[in-house]
Chain A
Amino acid sequence: MPAREGTYGLLAEFDTPSDLVRAAQQARQDGWRRMDCYTPYPVEEAAEAIGFHRNKVPLLTLIGGLMGGAAMFSLETWISTLAYPLNVAGRPPYSWPAFIVPAYEWTILWAGLSAAFGMLALNGLPSLYHPLFNAPNFRDGATTDKFFLCLEALDPKFDLTETKAYLQKFSPNSVVEVEY
């Protein structure tokens, strides 16, 4: 658990996604690891620049889907053969082709729920508080038209004055210190 006081990091604001991506690439090359970019829409190049290439959402979706389908098919089989066997027009109790439809729907249902809520969980959301919301310019821009690079204090290279000067080299609109 990181300390919840002091500086969270330094936040540089850019006007265009290209400036942000260049700065992020350079920072990554210079050995920065604890950093993140904040954009008003998905910028794939920025994720590549900070070295974020793959995620676990597809795996969660696959597991959720398989479990949903298997659960419904087993439930149908158990109900129709053991719990409540009914003779419907002489069809066998285990009439598996008919069971496929609900199992198919449940595969989709649980895969979809796993994708959506798995994504939120991996993102650590919901979390209504975040230190970045303390930055005065973050709320105006991050969800509208500005692009941010945050170098975090947890990175061993972090030093308040040196890092500030380092970020200024990318000629951002501003560099702001973010407090917890």
Chain B
Amino acid sequence: MATKEVKPNDPMIDPATGEFRVIGQGQTFLSITEKIARIVLTPHTPMGWFGLFTVAGGGATMLLVALTWLFLKGVGIWAITQPVAWGFAIINFVWWIGIGHAGTLISAILLLFKQGWRNAISRFAEAMTIFAVCCAGLFPLIHVGRPWLGYWLFPLPFTMTVWPQFRSPLMWDVFAVSTYATISVVFWYIGMVPDLATLRDRAHSRIGQYFYGMLSVGWRGSVRHWMRYETASLLLAGLATPLVLSVHTVISFDFAVAVLPGWHTTIFPPYFVAGAIYSGFAMVLTLAIPLRKFYHLESLVTERHIDNMGKVMLATGFIVAYGYGMEAFMAWYSASHWEAFMFWNRVFGPMGWSYWVLITCNLAIPLTTLWSRKLRSSIPFMFFISIVVNTGMWFERFVIVVTSLYRDFLPSSWGTYRATKWDYMTFVGTLGFFTFLFLLFVRFLPMIPMNEIRMLLPAAKVKPKAAEAAD
């Protein structure tokens, strides 16, 4: 049904399968290498890049100001108090980590499922993961109040002979997030080594040759090396898959292990992981759509990618919807007065507006429209949806943290939550910092994995002599 909306003679559609092409027609090994390497190796930085870099740098500076004041005055400058002792810091932490998850999903899980279309978007999705984890990791660190004592989280031999307490999910978080950050960086770097070698060999400037030469550790493309490399990539993908699922599961334990109504539920781990992938794919779209336009990469990041990402968002969106449904159902089915009140208060209480923003942005708009292939292949619409879902997922974290806390068991201790300007500055600052890092990545590192794209070309296949003569 939906396929009728697409013109049959569209050159971007493969007549054999009826699907959008993964890469545009007529590309060769040399053409894709030049297309991708030129973005990095050109001495002319586009003016638009400088413009964005200035804005993002301003955001990063704002973060620096907010953090400086925070370290001077303490966490009292934020809106956190009793009863809402967890505010923006935790919301942002969970939101950023969730965004990172799509990068790992694309690079690891889709690799295991042999989804060839992932290749073009895997590298910058991985970069997105790393920068999102950088932003996320910042929040628990600054939230502890005395960040210079942050190393107490690690089991290190101190003179006071005090050791961490391993029965706490907050402690598990330290290991989950630090492992996630390390493995993401390693996976990203190892994946980049052959492409850095390409840049080394194509760089004209002496600095470029040294820089990429050092980073590419002398890669020369020996097939023995390639075979070990492929094994290592596959193993890293196999390891990153259970890792990424465990990270958001452990983060959901921070909430689910508490006795608080609204947090103490068993649906949290799968619901958090699905939400993470939902928001992560939205962020990949937010980044990919302007990038492909700006750097003319439409033949590599094709409508097929946008379309497939829309499908993944549709699927994970419904898992998230199931999570919301289950929360409502359990509030009734538990027959617990506290659970029922928490849910009623979350939806219709004084901060109920946040719940309705969440429902509108996460369910009402995307889950009704993403069914249509016509809308999924409309680039402006998908950009709009990506922003909507990112907003919705931020509000989901807001709803979970704030509306579970602000009216607890004892009416005399009820309160409210209103973020201060420092909260907003820190949050907007991390958005700037993230963009800042991402722009540096786009300028200096290959944002599309050339070696993986080469494998997608028809010329990459080894053919027997007879078949070759027939071509």
Contact = CB atoms under 8 A, between A and B. Distances in A.
B171 to A, nearest CB: 7
A63 B22 CA distance: 38
Q: Which of B171, B187, B201, B227 has the most CB atoms of chain A within a 10 A radius of its CB?
A: B227
A39 B226 CA distance: 9
Given A45-B462, A75-B155, A98-B166, A116 B186 contact: yes
A130 B220 contact: yes
Interface stretch (A1-9, A107-115, A154-162, A163-171): A107-115
B201 A139 contact: yes
Contact of A43 (B190, B194, B462): B462
A144 B30 contact: yes
Size range of the chain B interface in the assembly: 35 or more
Given A105-B179, A140-B201, A42 B161 contact: no
B36 to A, nearest CB: 11
A84 B158 CA distance: 12
Contacts of B451: 40-42
Given A40-B451, A61-B235, A79-B166, A143 B221 contact: yes
B114 interface: no
A39 B223 CA distance: 7
B217 A41 contact: no
Given A47-B226, A108-B183, A109-B182, A127 B166 contact: no
Contact of A109 (B179, B190, B223): B179
Q: Which of B223, B225, B452 has the most CB atoms of chain A within a 10 A radius of its CB?
A: B223
B332 to A, nearest CB: 30
Given A55-B228, A91-B167, A118-B232, A125 B219 contact: yes
Interface in B101-115: none
A135 B222 CA distance: 15
Nearest to A102: B175
Given A83-B161, A108-B179, A37 B223 contact: yes
B218 A130 contact: yes
A129 B166 CA distance: 47
B198 A144 contact: yes
A179 B223 CA distance: 21
Contact of B183 (A16, A112, A120): A112
Nearest to A121: B228
Contacts of B161: 83-84
B15 to A, nearest CB: 25
A106 B179 CA distance: 7
Contacts of A133: 220
Nearest to A93: B167
B239 interface: yes
B242 interface: yes
A126 B217 contact: yes
A112 B244 CA distance: 13
B28 A145 contact: yes
A13 interface: no
Contact of A41 (B202, B218, B231, B454): B454
Interface string A141-155: 011110000000000
Given A17-B460, A22-B465, A38-B220, A119 B229 contact: yes
B184 to A, nearest CB: 10
Contacts, number: 208
Nearest to A38: B221
Interface string A68-94: 000010011001100110101001000
Contact of B452 (A16, A36, A41, A120): A41
B52 interface: no
Nearest to A78: B163
Interface in B423-463: 451-452, 454-455, 459-463
A176 to B, nearest CB: 15
A86 B227 contact: no
Interface in A24-81: 36-47, 50, 52, 55, 57-58, 61, 65, 72, 75-76, 79-80
B285 interface: no
A124 to B, nearest CB: 8
Nearest to A76: B166
B221 A125 contact: no
Interface of B: 28-30, 33, 155, 161-169, 171-172, 175-176, 179, 182-183, 186-187, 189-190, 194, 197-198, 200-202, 213-214, 217-232, 235-236, 239-240, 242-243, 246, 250, 451-452, 454-455, 459-465, 468
Given A41-B460, A116-B189, 7 more contacts: A39-B223, A39-B226, A41-B451, A55-B227, A123-B222, A126-B218, A145-B33
Interface of A: 16-18, 21-22, 36-47, 50, 52, 55, 57-58, 61, 65, 72, 75-76, 79-80, 83-84, 86, 88, 91, 95, 98-99, 101-102, 104-106, 108-109, 111-113, 115-116, 118-120, 122-123, 125-130, 132-133, 138-140, 142-145
Counting from the closest, the 6 A-B pairs by CB-CB distance are A145-B29, A126-B217, A119-B232, A84-B163, A42-B226, A101-B172
